[in-house]
Structure 1
Amino acid sequence: MAMAARPWYKDLSGQHWRAFWAAWIGYALDGFDFVLITYVLTNIADEFHLDLVTASTLISASFITRWLGGAVVGSIADRIGRKNAMIAGIWLYALGTFLCGFAWNYWSLFAFRLIVGLGMAGEYSASSLYVLESWPKHVRNKASGFLISGYNVGSLVVAFIYPFITAHFGWRVLFYIGIVPVILTLYMRKNLPEHTEWQQTSTEKAGGISFFKLFSPRILPVFIAITLFIFAAFLYSWPVQSLLPTYLKSIGYDATGVSQVMFAANFGTLLGCIFAGFLGDRVGTRRAYIYSLLISLVLILPFFIIGKANIWLLGLLIFVLLFVSQGIAGLHPKFMSMYFAPEVRGSGVGVAYNLGSLGGAIAPIWGAFFANLMGLGTALAVLMFFWTFVVVALVVFDVPGRLLQRTAGIRSYEVQNTTPEGTVEPSQV
């Protein structure tokens, strides 16, 4: 009789979980700080006498510096360690958010939002690599999915506390709360070791700044492919993320209805990130993307056809749609890390992700443009379908892996997984 499979969590020590929860809380607070401004934008516009278009540029400000944050903090991660880079990223976004509460005009607030972008970009790559490189290889998809769920939790927390805080204390207090993550860094510095793949290879790394190594002939093609992958992923996800409330209002839902559907959407994304981790470890990272996104293609059209006919059915459809389409983003850190060697992984993941995230800045503009031609619902459906198909194609044909094979002679930097029993089996990347 075959022995029962060893539960995955039995392979994780207390140190693994301490590393995870420290990074997860950092991600949750990152999500809290980043989306905060979207809730108080009208308050800011009123106080500083801004029109809505000008006020909206305060959201885009953090995107402007994300690539730089990925380059600087990512290079720190490759040079002096993931833990130190993670702490630096948290300090930057927490300080930037705190300073937003003291803004005296539009330009001061814009400048402080640039600091937020620097920090959150660097924290994304450093935290994800710290956990991924600390956990055993056969559960790293779970680590990735679980970790990204923290961002969604932070976003939900803002939604819950925003009405009370602004009604009783004003919008600035929400930004003052943003300094709280600094407390977490005190724990990190004292209690978390640098027991990662980075530490194992740090003595072998050549000098130099890892960001500039991305432009070497061996790495550049893979870097471009990963950047395009993330760019396409943002272009299929952000039209819906940014314009879904507007679409719901356009088909006749009031504020309560919009809130209910948006809760279903956000909750679906949260659970989807967690499920993606299990699916990725079960069938392989690439297969998890393919299965999830193919299912999402089937659900896009029904969601936009149903309209206002039934809010419960609409909520169920958006829950399932974002469960598979947005939840799979929980595997982005794992997917990207497979194609960069440890000595450039911090800057590679950080810069590729944050350059690709510019798709998130373009997506709402494209959505609004095409809405003038074909209606908002149709525009969102077309953009989501097309760019989802592009992502599926990039994964099916393993474009980054093929380029890596051509330049480095391997398809992935995770070509083998060690099982709990100690044997070695091919990785289902």
Structure 2
Amino acid sequence: MAPYFIRNLIPRKEKNEGEHELTLLQALATLTPVQVLQVFCGWFAWTCDAIDFFSVSLSVTDLEELFNRSTHDITTSITLTLLFRPIGAAVFGILSDRYGRRWPLVVNLMLLSGFQIGSGFVKTYPQFLALRSLFGICMGGVWGLAAATALENLPVEARGFISGILQQGYAVGYLIAAVIDLELVPKVEASWRALFWTAAGISASAAVVRAITPESEFFLRAKAARGSADTKNKTRVFLHETKVMLRRHWILCIYAVLLMAGFNFLSHGSQDLYPTYLKVTKGFTDNRATVATIIGNVGAIVGGAVAGYASQHIGRRLAILICVLLVGAFIPLWILPDNFSGLAAGAFCLQFGVQGAWGVIPIFLSEISPPAFRGTFPGVAYQIGNMISAASAQIETTGGNNMRTTIIVDGVLTDVPDYAKVQGIFIGVIAAFVFCITLVGPEQHGAHFERAKAAFEEGAGEDQERFEDGREVEDKGGVTEIRREKSKDSSVRDSIREAKEKV
């Protein structure tokens, strides 16, 4: 008998009697304008996070000149940003599970905007490090809030595809930052600072959009059900249920952190130093390196959407495993060519695999998370994984200092770091780790986390549901009252079935 994690690799789809599974187009057609706007808010926030973060990656050489520092020193700022992210994930995640998704994300984005403006005004290296550390705290809260905002009110059949779209907001953000760096930065006197200031304006715009978008329907419904309880009592219940959740799911917490450490090593190892790798090891101009980065991010966007959609049918873990195998297969194309077309093709294919696997992560983590703590659990696990992988760029620069190669620069044979070999080895090892830990992990494909109680309700830490098979469960003075109420998915399915019967 095969182990359970093998037998569960392609999950069995369970259908309630009389229900018809919606196609992707049918599920998308059921979305209300508010739901569409909430998905956009989550995607936009995650896009802003990427623009802000990769502003440093695209400006490494300029920052070296400004501060008279080495590449290793400049990448320290990237490491510090990643190290401080778990703090923001915990703070803003708890606020979102306790008070709602809307205003914590608005505050988060406004702080991002302010710190990004400040990054463009720094004069010294210590100032830059301090500001990027504070910046990391704010960035840490975005991912969990974005995922909860975008995914918790959707039909089950649309979640895989939307997960891929949501996650590739990060690739879109990197692409937008690269375009700004390519088209705006060389043409203005502010130079690299213009990239930071433009990113700040985009983050402020995302905050405004989220501020005018209604709160999550799930959270409003839970809040209305507990409206009679005072704030102090809600906070007491929230803290108690958090302790219950941690006792119940501590093994899952460890697994999620290890999984996200592998995923973050995979993405940061293939992205953070990539423009520097092209310019230093391959001898590309700034323009060529930026164009290749853009092409790679196009591959990432396509991969995320395709893998997210596929995961709805073949399972979350199997979709991730296939994408990781693609990463391993395309490492040679990513590092061996010396011409632009070959390396650009390698960037497209490798990022298709890397971000294809990542495209499944928002819904995968949301489904395996304790359902009442979807604002906190995925974000904290993700950002602790980020913290563990924080030194990716520095590991690669250290490796480049010890693995050398020669290229011809202006007709002269020049000794340079061999970032191609370093990154090829690094990504190969990490891809193998991600494959193994994904293979042995859990999967809750199609989990109905929208039925769960909110984190400030009694029983939330034990994963109790407010809705069970269309019935709303309420606790009134120790007496359980069950009231029939069809979920939105069931109502849609009933409408489709009735229409077919009429035909």
Q: TM-score, normalised by structure 1?
A: 0.84
Pair 66,3 (structure 1): closer, same or farther in 2 beyond 3 Å: closer
Aligned pair partner of 2:493 in 414, 421, 427: 421
- How far has the Cα of 1:211 moved from its partner? 10
Separation (CA, whole Å) in 2 of partners of 1:148 and 1:251: 30
Q: Deviations over 1:317-361 (max 9, x none)?
A: 331222022232122221111122233222211211011012432
- Please give the residue correspondences for 1:295-306 in structure 2 after superposition, counting only pairs within 5 Å: 295-304=326-335, 306=336
| 1:356 alignment partner AA | G
Q: Is the 8 Å Cα contact of residues 368 and 442 (structure 2) preserved in structure 1?
A: no
Pair 130,380 (structure 1): closer, same or farther in 2 beyond 3 Å: same
SS at match of 1:192: coil
Aligned pair partner of 2:189 in 160, 169, 175: 169
- Please give the residue correspondences for 1:135-154 in structure 2 after superposition, counting only pairs within 5 Å: 135-154=154-173
Superposed CA RMSD: 3.4
Q: Deviations over 1:223-251 (max 9, x none)?
A: 11101001011223322223434444565
Aligned to 2:479: none
**Is the counterpart of residue 70 in structure 1 residue 89 in structure 2?**
yes
Q: Deviations over 1:270-292 (max 9, x none)?
A: 22122222112232222211222
Aligned pair partner of 2:140 in 89, 109, 121: 121
Q: Is the 8 Å Cα contact of residues 76 and 394 (structure 2) preserved in structure 1?
A: no
Q: Deviations over 1:21-55 (max 9, x none)?
A: 22222222222122112333444444445454433
**Is the counterpart of residue 390 in structure 1 residue 421 in structure 2?**
no
Aligned to 2:214: 192
- How far has the Cα of 1:110 moved from its partner? 2.4
**Is the counterpart of residue 229 in structure 1 residue 249 in structure 2?**
no
Separation (CA, whole Å) in 1 of partners of 2:274 and 2:195: 24
Aligned pair partner of 2:249 in 213, 219, 228: 219
Pair 106,313 (structure 1): closer, same or farther in 2 beyond 3 Å: closer
Pair 311,122 (structure 1): closer, same or farther in 2 beyond 3 Å: same
Gaps of 5+ in 1: 402-407, 424-429
Separation (CA, whole Å) in 2 of partners of 1:4 and 1:212: 35
- How far has the Cα of 1:107 moved from its partner? 2.9
Count of aligned pairs between the two proteins = 412
Rg bigger for which structure? 2
Bigger Cα displacement from structure 2, 75-84 vs 17-26: 17-26
Gaps of 5+ in 2: 1-19, 227-233, 405-417, 445-460, 470-486, 496-503
Separation (CA, whole Å) in 2 of partners of 1:382 and 1:53: 19
| 1:316 alignment partner AA | A
Pair 69,252 (structure 1): closer, same or farther in 2 beyond 3 Å: closer
Q: Is the 8 Å Cα contact of residues 41 and 150 (structure 2) preserved in structure 1?
A: no
Q: Is the 8 Å Cα contact of residues 93 and 115 (structure 1) preserved in structure 2?
A: no
Aligned to 1:262: 293
Pair 388,4 (structure 1): closer, same or farther in 2 beyond 3 Å: closer
SS at match of 1:7: helix
**Is the counterpart of residue 349 in structure 1 residue 378 in structure 2?**
yes
- How far has the Cα of 1:380 moved from its partner? 2.4
Bigger Cα displacement from structure 2, 28-37 vs 203-212: 203-212
Pair 187,322 (structure 1): closer, same or farther in 2 beyond 3 Å: closer
Give me the identity figure in percent: 22
Aligned to 1:404: none
Pair 58,237 (structure 1): closer, same or farther in 2 beyond 3 Å: closer
- Please give the residue correspondences for 1:37-56 in structure 2 after superposition, counting only pairs within 5 Å: 37-56=56-75
Aligned to 1:273: 304
Higher helix share: 1
